Amino acid sequence: MTITTDQTLGELLTQDPRRARVMETYGLDYCCGGKRSLAGACQEAGIDAGDVAQALDLPDRPPAPEWLQLGPAALAQHIVATHHAYLWEEMPRLDALVTKVHGVHGERHPELSDVAALYREVVADLGPHLTKEERILFPAIAALEEQGAAARFPFGRLANPIAAMLAEHDTVGALFAQIREATGGYVVPGDGCASYTAMLTGLEEMERDTHEHIHKENNVLFPRVLELENELFGPA
């Protein structure tokens, strides 16, 4: 497939999910920044767009992921079952690990104070965010798909809560970027124990999963919902 630099990061990733690793290598934000063109993102990062395009042109493109074929309501349920379920289970486990490592190694590694504080901000933001999606936004998406123009919501159009979710995605993405910076890219120090390694592995995995999670919402689910809403009610 020919890659052009005017394609968005979200579009490129949706075509081939393996490109996430390449974008991460170049430091390109494909989740919250998924609407930027490859050219614009590379210019902002100070890297050559042609080189990145070549790196993104991976051989043997796999079939499109099954979730990409789902309608809005089914895609929302996929996100809950895949990403929300992971976060609800992982957040308390990782919180205990971050607290433990900070307590044991914090004196020798003062950056762990920042890591602990940032992680608690992540949890404080994600908990209510997931709840609002599960209890308000995603049921409304299902109602819109089922009822069409007859659907009515107390908050008005779905564009309103979607805008709030997008802003919250930006906040969480920025927090994970700060955690990555504070840990030097999740590198285990020479005196790091098994718990230290497990903490950094868990934080890096949560960041990666959250990027995929946000990509599915920002670049696929939400645009489809807004398109459907505009078809039913006209442009907002």
Give per-residue pLDDT as tens, 162-220. 999 999 999 999 999 999 999 999 999 999 999 999 999 999 999 999 999 999 999 99
Give per-residue pLDDT as tens, 130-165. 999 999 999 999 999 999 999 999 999 999 999 999
Give per-residue pLDDT as tens, 80-117. 999 999 999 999 999 999 999 999 999 999 999 999 99
Give every CB contact of residue 3 below 8 A, 6+ residues apart in sequence. Answer: 12, 38, 53, 56, 57
Cα distances (Å, whole numbers) of residue 234 to 61, 157, 217, 223, 227: 37, 11, 22, 15, 9
Task: Identify any residues that bridge with 37 across adjacent strands, giving them in sequence order.
Answer: 8
The token pair that represents 196 in the structure block: 């230290």
Amino acid at site 113: S
pLDDT grade, residue 235 (50/70/90)? confident
Place of tokens 């934080």: 203
Domains of the chain by residue range: 9-56, 66-233
Q: What is the pLDDT of residue 1?
A: 56
81 alpha carbon, distance to own chain's centre: 15
Pairwise CA distance, residues 73 & 224, whole Å: 10
> pTM surpassing 0.75?
yes
